[in-house]
Structure 1
Amino acid sequence: MTQTSNVLFEVGLEEMPARYMNETEVQMKEKTQQWLEEIQLSYKNIKTFITPRRIAIQIQELQLKQDDQEEEVKGPAEKIAKDEAGNWSKAAIGFSKGQGKSVDDIYFKEVNGTNYVFVKKYTKGKTQDELLPDFKQIIMQLTFPKTMRWKNHSFRFIRPIKWLVALKDDEVIPFEITDVSTSNVTYGHRFLGGKIELSHALDYEQLLKDQYVIVDSSIRKNQILQQTEKLQEDKDWRIKIDENLLDEVTNLVEYPTTYYGEFNEEFLSLPKEVLITSMREHQRYFPVENAEGDLLPYFIFVRNGNDDHIQNVSKGNEKVLRARLKDAQFFYEEDQKQSIQDNLIKLEKIIFQEKLGTIADKVNRTKQIAELVASQLNVSEETVKKVTRAATISKFDLVTNMVDEFTELQGTMGHQYALLAGEDEEVAKAIEEHYMPTQSHGQLPETTTGAILSIADKIDTIVGCFTVGLIPTGSQDPYALRRQAIGILEIMKENKWSIPLFTIIERSFDIISTGIDLETNKIEILDQLKTFFNQRTAYIMREAGLEQDIIDAVLIHRVETLSFLIAKGKYLSKKRNDPSFKNKEEAFVRVINLAQKAEENYSIDETLLTQKEEKALYTTWNDIVPEYNQALQQFNVEEAITQLMKLVEPIHEFFDHIMVMDKQESIRNNRLALLKQISNSILDFADFTKVQWKQNHA
């Protein structure tokens, strides 16, 4: 039976930023698992722990030592290992020494008809005592978005290290980082706990709990939820739990106690979004609603500690929130003294980007692009008017007091203030919606006006940045251009809009580049933009479950209708495993491959189609084209493929009986021209040559 021990490592720190903690815990576990695999020690279980003041990991039932290894090592061939007199060569002697052996240990084995030198090498497994101190490197290799140095140390970490725990059962594992040596001493809650001497690695969770630290973040999270649910039941409230806020609060405390506070009902006259933002974003409170979804003058907070004197803590939180809401109330009233036009004038003095001008310049460009998008969608004149107005006033709230104080409310306050100023409801809503989606898989605009304006604003930002050389590289994307491009594509997908995206991008470039000294030429910038959008399209298609070869097959044309591309991709993905589809794909692949021999200027001369098989193929192709193209325009995958299927038999008949590369040039070119036209039609659906047809390899 393999002997084991239980191991604990803990890094004690000054308080870490909550937003980095989840990733840090995942990283600690992954690096530890990889390390244990590399040093070849088995274990039963790994548990990770994290609080604002510590990162810890417990390895349960860890193998005491590596398995001893005996391996057979192959050396040079016998003819190299011995000279003509049968003496050992330098190669043989060097090989044996390199393996810690002598020539007396050499034996020969035949491999593929040739005798080779071999030795058996025995490696004694290392013990935990030899291996575990190296865990220091795992700690030092943790990475963080931001790091710091302290004292005179060159080592950088998320926060200064205050203590280190490293235990193998009850024994300390020795190492040090930045003059901090490992021990069996840890510390409880900053105010409620004290110094803890760990007598065993498995005592960690319970002893910390006794000192008011819940080291398991999932337990802290569940405690917050349970305490919140109890308040809901006791008070008949509805407490909105935002998952991101719940994660953040969980990572702000070591011993959670949930309670409530209240504020004056007069503040309920403020827009709901203002109250929620004041509570959630600035104070980390959860808002409270009634059964109808109306805000109530209460909030939920999570204390880092027990419930001693909790009502005093509640009063302190109430005082802080009251001051916040007083400020918000003042800003709200002051903002309404300014007209929308007053604010638009102020935008002329705010720089959007040095080479791209002011926010007012951006608004003007966005309006032109929005009108261009609207014209491509053939929307009503009434919608065009709404789009124009919404674009014109889309950024006016950026200079309001409320948005200056609560930047999260950009667009939201524009919506509210536009309604108060008497603007059309859809126009007002579009001001808020044009920032959507604000995150991956986030909410999309509901109105047509908002969707058009969102696309236009994002196109202006993306094309503008590419025009002045601000192109995302690696992990650097300060203007969030990738997210904005995905937002454009998601909106198009959701609305099933077929718009000539790259035509709009090209015309947007002409609008944006006026008066700008370009560092690269227009063709190169547009090529970069095409690649950029195709990459984002491929990303969305991968998220939809499509394989890369399928994506390559359907993503051969400019991105027009993402939902149609995905539908085509899903059809091909399904058919790749269907044996009955084999002869169809073979027909299409043969056409596409041979059509590449045709020159672009080749045209079909019907009088040169003399054989019945080529006439039949030409006739069938002509017959299906109208309905096939209509199916493509209507994004009807099933109908499009139904029409293409009519070509399969004529294609096979054609190749079975017709010599395409005829000796007579005119006939040869005419047949290639026919295949080229048919290939173009097939490629309008997909490039079948790029699909890895799995049934072909059965």
Structure 2
Amino acid sequence: MAKDLLFEIGLEEVPARFIRAAMNQMKEKTEKWLNDSNISYTAVEAYATPRRLAVIVKEVAEKQEDIHEEVKGPSRKIAQDENGNWSKAALGFARSQGVDPDQFTFKEVGGVEYIYVNKSRIGVQTAEVLPEGLLQVITSMSFPKNMRWGAHDFKFVRPIKWIVALFGKDIVNLEIAGVKAGKISRGHRFLGTEVEISEPSAYVETLRKQYVIVDVNERQELITSQIKALAEEKKWKIGVKDDLLEEVLFLVEWPTALFGTFDPSFLNIPQDVLITSMREHQRYFPVLNEQGQLLPYFVTVRNGNKDSLDIIARGNEKVLRARLSDAKFFYEEDQKMAIKDAVSKLESIVFHEELGTVGDKVRRIRSIADRLAERLQVSAGTSESVSRASDICKFDLVTQMVYEFPELQGVMGEDYARKAGESEEVAKAIFEHYQPRFSGDDVPASMVGTIVSIADKMDTIVGTFSIGIIPTGSQDPYALRRQAAGIVQMMLEHKLSITLGEVFQIALDAHKNFHELKRSDEEIRKDLYEFFGLRVKKTLSEDLRYDVVDAVIASGFDDIVSVVARGQSLMKAVQGTDDFKTTVESFNRVSNLASKASFTTVTQELFAQDEEAKLYEAWKSVSGAYEQALSERKAEEALHLLASLKPAITEFFDNVMVMAEDEKVRMNRLALLASIDRDLKQYADFSKLVW
């Protein structure tokens, strides 16, 4: 007969950002222990609030499953010497299995004798192993930060205040850090009381009566439905960001949404400032009209019931008024500082001890951006804006507003620059040069913003690579992967006619003019290509098959726009008619023999058969157009031109013996194939395609 298992750890309030991961971790570790212990069950349900982590395991078997298994060991030749004595390998195998060598048996597998051990273990009652198992689940959990309390050596995310551990209706004999398991849980800190959980199936409803909703999904649905109802009632648009919703979700046990208001005069401050202040400091949801403009209201979620909501709203309004007053003060004070004075203060901010100050970085950005603008042949006006935007792109880092709200860098720069009389193009570029800020974010819309953004990100990447700081594993403290992905995204979106190699060299030159590189250009460029290659591959993999990605990457990715275009066209062809498969087969026949060629110069006078001349003429007739199509990034047209060679290639292989006895004829035929293969390889390595 099966029973349900309830395991709840009651805690002091846990930081909201830790809770979901902790809940999932507790579930996974419980499942692993049950599986490793051969205890059957049907499902594990996880629950969490700011004050508790819990799992309910459905239909847990009352007894471990019996184990009967046959374990294979080393071969008899290794296990015994010529006198029949057991070797160290055999004795080690016996120890590892907890048996005596006398229990070994021999069995022949594939003509070789191996030693085997037959092991049996009778399962014990689940109740007997639960205390040790649940203790193992808790002690194996890890957190970004741990605490110790009292005289206990035990560390956990927060001090444990109570434990509920029930197997059916029976208490599991468990103690952690001086706290014994029982049936008593605790309700809402202010609205609830201590309560007895009679059995696991009663857990959720018993705590609901004590103003605690332990089901995370139910609590989230309640929050979103209340906010939605408020928006419909007031005809508002309430800005609900996922990260803020996640935080609020784990700040409350009994959520109740309410709204408040603030002085409309604060709306003279930029909307982003107000929204950031509300979200980051107060965990409030901003209220907008249908046009997306901020209204003088806010929505918050109380950890409690609907009693005295008007008093709660007034208290929140008072706190928000103070926050917005601070923001207004910072905003007004910042505008009293001239941009040139702000820029001069960047000289005192260290960017990196080996790469200089932020002022040094700005000068490198200007150098890189100017050369990019020249290489991209932008207009004189755009080039002038690029220079000015580069010079002042970081000035808002020294403002009080950005000091208070770092996430507003660029936002405040754009606003202050516009108010200081900078051109619209320059002001916008100050904001845009931080884009894309995260995966899925927009890229800069303007060419000025795009060039300055690439210059800024490439300066950081090349600078850190030049001093040996290269992301490894999960370590990426300077967010270089995100910045590299942003560069790839911008080059694609704007179809920039510049290669990665050119951008690398421009950035390297800028760094060499400012400081001595610790590593050689060649080493840095090699690492940069490898690093960006992974970013390009990831971009391609979002829409293309892995073999198509491998095929086009093998032909080079220096021109990002080209490799993506080639990948998309090749994917379309691969998914098309079966005829393309035979086309690729003909390409691969060319490539297989081309590898035997020692040169690519073709002598027409050495053609011994008409099919050689026909293939040569077919190739020459498309080669020029093919090269032009590739240079213009017309990937579909280029692939069509290559595919047109198929009849001539097929006829050639059907009628011509490539490896002729006459060496000159043979080498000439190989040279012809090598010339064609050289063109094929510019598009893709077709041999990597999988059918």
TM-score by shorter chain over 0.5: yes
Output the CA distance in 1 between the equivalents of 2:68 and 2:392. 77
Determine helix, strand or coil for the equivalent of 2:163: strand
Query: What is the CA RMSD across the aligned residues, in angstroms?
Result: 3.2
Q: Conserved in 2, the CA contact under 8 Å of 1:66 and 1:127?
A: yes
Which position in structure 1 is the counterpart of 2:617?
619
Post-superposition offset of 1:75? 8.2
Cα deviations by residue, 1:23-81 (Å, 9 ceiling, x for unpaired): 22233333333333333333233211111121111111122223334445678999999
Cα deviations by residue, 1:323-370 (Å, 9 ceiling, x for unpaired): 111111111111111222221122222221112112122112112222
Supply the AA of the counterpart residue of 1:544. Answer: D
Supply the AA of the counterpart residue of 1:296. Answer: L
Post-superposition offset of 1:6? 0.4
Which position in structure 2 is the counterpart of 1:44?
42
Output the CA distance in 2 between the equivalents of 1:42 and 1:589. 53
Cα deviations by residue, 1:227-263 (Å, 9 ceiling, x for unpaired): 2122223322221111211111111111111111111
Post-superposition offset of 1:448? 2.2
Q: Conserved in 2, the CA contact under 8 Å of 1:492 and 1:561?
A: no
Q: Conserved in 2, the CA contact under 8 Å of 1:502 and 1:558?
A: no
> Which residue of the other structure, out of 660, 680, 690, is the alignment partner of 1:682?
680
Residue correspondence of structure 1 range 572-583 to structure 2 within 5 A: 572-573=570-571, 579-583=578-582
Q: Conserved in 2, the CA contact under 8 Å of 1:372 and 1:504?
A: no
Does 1:591 pair with 2:599? no
Post-superposition offset of 1:624? 1.0
Segments of 5+ residues of structure 2 without an aligned counterpart are none
Q: Conserved in 2, the CA contact under 8 Å of 1:440 and 1:483?
A: yes
Determine helix, strand or coil for the equivalent of 2:683: coil
Which position in structure 2 is the counterpart of 1:241?
240
Q: Compared with structure 1, are the counterparts of its residues 349 and 77 closer, same or farther at alpha carbon in structure 2 (3 Å cutoff)?
A: closer
Which position in structure 2 is the counterpart of 1:161?
160
Which position in structure 2 is the counterpart of 1:633?
631
Post-superposition offset of 1:282? 1.4
- Between the aligned residues of both structures, percent identity stands at 47
Output the CA distance in 2 between the equivalents of 1:283 and 1:83. 76
Output the CA distance in 2 between the equivalents of 1:364 and 1:83. 75
Post-superposition offset of 1:641? 1.6
Determine helix, strand or coil for the equivalent of 1:241: coil
Output the CA distance in 2 between the equivalents of 1:231 and 1:680. 66
Cα deviations by residue, 1:178-203 (Å, 9 ceiling, x for unpaired): 33332222222222222222221122
Which position in structure 2 is the counterpart of 1:388?
387
Supply the AA of the counterpart residue of 1:403. Answer: V
Q: Conserved in 2, the CA contact under 8 Å of 1:497 and 1:561?
A: no
Determine helix, strand or coil for the equivalent of 2:251: coil
Post-superposition offset of 1:464? 0.9
Does 1:330 pair with 2:329? yes
> Which residue of the other structure, out of 119, 126, 130, is the alignment partner of 1:128?
126
Which position in structure 2 is the counterpart of 1:643?
641
Determine helix, strand or coil for the equivalent of 1:232: helix
Which position in structure 2 is the counterpart of 1:22?
20
Which position in structure 2 is the counterpart of 1:202?
201
Post-superposition offset of 1:137? 1.9
Output the CA distance in 1 between the equivalents of 2:153 and 2:638. 65
Determine helix, strand or coil for the equivalent of 2:23: helix
Cα deviations by residue, 1:511-532 (Å, 9 ceiling, x for unpaired): 1133534332221111111100
Does 1:230 pair with 2:229? yes
Q: Compared with structure 1, are the counterparts of its residues 633 and 74 closer, same or farther at alpha carbon in structure 2 (3 Å cutoff)?
A: closer
Output the CA distance in 2 between the equivalents of 1:90 and 1:422. 90
Supply the AA of the counterpart residue of 1:469. Answer: G
Output the CA distance in 2 between the equivalents of 1:296 and 1:515. 49
Q: Compared with structure 1, are the counterparts of its residues 397 and 584 closer, same or farther at alpha carbon in structure 2 (3 Å cutoff)?
A: same
Residue correspondence of structure 1 range 53-202 to structure 2 within 5 A: 53-71=51-69, 122-133=120-131, 134-202=133-201
Post-superposition offset of 1:83? 14
Output the CA distance in 1 between the equivalents of 2:648 and 2:47. 67
Which position in structure 2 is the counterpart of 1:479?
478
Post-superposition offset of 1:663? 5.1
Residue correspondence of structure 1 range 97-496 to structure 2 within 5 A: 122-133=120-131, 134-496=133-495
Output the CA distance in 2 between the equivalents of 1:96 and 1:403. 67
Output the CA distance in 1 between the equivalents of 2:79 and 2:397. 81
Output the CA distance in 1 between the equivalents of 2:295 and 2:79. 89
Q: What TM-score, normalized to structure 2?
A: 0.91
Output the CA distance in 1 between the equivalents of 2:401 and 2:56. 48
Q: Compared with structure 1, are the counterparts of its residues 148 and 488 closer, same or farther at alpha carbon in structure 2 (3 Å cutoff)?
A: farther
Q: Compared with structure 1, are the counterparts of its residues 392 and 34 closer, same or farther at alpha carbon in structure 2 (3 Å cutoff)?
A: same
Output the CA distance in 2 between the equivalents of 1:496 and 1:592. 31
Q: Compared with structure 1, are the counterparts of its residues 352 and 581 closer, same or farther at alpha carbon in structure 2 (3 Å cutoff)?
A: same
Output the CA distance in 2 between the equivalents of 1:110 and 1:527. 53
Output the CA distance in 2 between the equivalents of 1:11 and 1:83. 56
Q: Conserved in 2, the CA contact under 8 Å of 1:467 and 1:513?
A: no
Post-superposition offset of 1:290? 2.2
In terms of mean alpha carbon deviation, does 657-666 or 317-326 score higher? 657-666
Output the CA distance in 1 between the equivalents of 2:73 and 2:272. 74
Cα deviations by residue, 1:109-132 (Å, 9 ceiling, x for unpaired): 876678988886543233312442
Does 1:555 pair with 2:560? no
In terms of mean alpha carbon deviation, does 451-460 or 61-70 score higher? 61-70
Q: Compared with structure 1, are the counterparts of its residues 233 and 669 closer, same or farther at alpha carbon in structure 2 (3 Å cutoff)?
A: same
Supply the AA of the counterpart residue of 2:595. Answer: Q
Output the CA distance in 1 between the equivalents of 2:647 and 2:393. 57
Post-superposition offset of 1:394? 0.9
Cα deviations by residue, 1:85-122 (Å, 9 ceiling, x for unpaired): xxx9989x99999797998x999987667898888654
Determine helix, strand or coil for the equivalent of 1:476: coil
Q: Compared with structure 1, are the counterparts of its residues 111 and 512 closer, same or farther at alpha carbon in structure 2 (3 Å cutoff)?
A: closer
Q: Compared with structure 1, are the counterparts of its residues 657 and 206 closer, same or farther at alpha carbon in structure 2 (3 Å cutoff)?
A: same
Determine helix, strand or coil for the equivalent of 2:281: helix
Output the CA distance in 1 between the equivalents of 2:21 and 2:544. 25
Output the CA distance in 1 between the equivalents of 2:654 and 2:214. 74
Q: Compared with structure 1, are the counterparts of its residues 117 and 257 closer, same or farther at alpha carbon in structure 2 (3 Å cutoff)?
A: closer
Q: Compared with structure 1, are the counterparts of its residues 261 and 393 closer, same or farther at alpha carbon in structure 2 (3 Å cutoff)?
A: same
Output the CA distance in 1 between the equivalents of 2:78 and 2:360. 78
Determine helix, strand or coil for the equivalent of 1:514: helix
In terms of mean alpha carbon deviation, does 51-60 or 553-562 score higher? 553-562
Output the CA distance in 2 between the equivalents of 1:193 and 1:583. 73
> Which residue of the other structure, out of 652, 655, 659, is the alignment partner of 1:654?
652
Determine helix, strand or coil for the equivalent of 1:149: coil
Output the CA distance in 1 between the equivalents of 2:81 and 2:456. 80
Determine helix, strand or coil for the equivalent of 1:684: helix
Q: Conserved in 2, the CA contact under 8 Å of 1:6 and 1:58?
A: yes
Output the CA distance in 2 between the equivalents of 1:76 and 1:299. 71
Output the CA distance in 2 between the equivalents of 1:301 and 1:517. 54
Number of residue equivalences? 685
Q: Compared with structure 1, are the counterparts of its residues 334 and 59 closer, same or farther at alpha carbon in structure 2 (3 Å cutoff)?
A: same
Cα deviations by residue, 1:600-643 (Å, 9 ceiling, x for unpaired): x6533344344322222221111112222233234333322211
Q: Conserved in 1, the CA contact under 8 Å of 2:462 and 2:507?
A: yes
Supply the AA of the counterpart residue of 2:642. Answer: L
Q: Conserved in 2, the CA contact under 8 Å of 1:72 and 1:120?
A: yes
Supply the AA of the counterpart residue of 1:587. Answer: S
Supply the AA of the counterpart residue of 2:681. Answer: L
Cα deviations by residue, 1:396-427 (Å, 9 ceiling, x for unpaired): 11111211111111000111111112222222
Q: Compared with structure 1, are the counterparts of its residues 517 and 364 closer, same or farther at alpha carbon in structure 2 (3 Å cutoff)?
A: closer
Q: Conserved in 2, the CA contact under 8 Å of 1:257 and 1:306?
A: yes
Output the CA distance in 2 between the equivalents of 1:684 and 1:68. 62
Q: Conserved in 2, the CA contact under 8 Å of 1:289 and 1:295?
A: yes
Output the CA distance in 1 between the equivalents of 2:665 and 2:384. 57
Post-superposition offset of 1:389? 1.9
Q: Conserved in 2, the CA contact under 8 Å of 1:602 and 1:669?
A: no
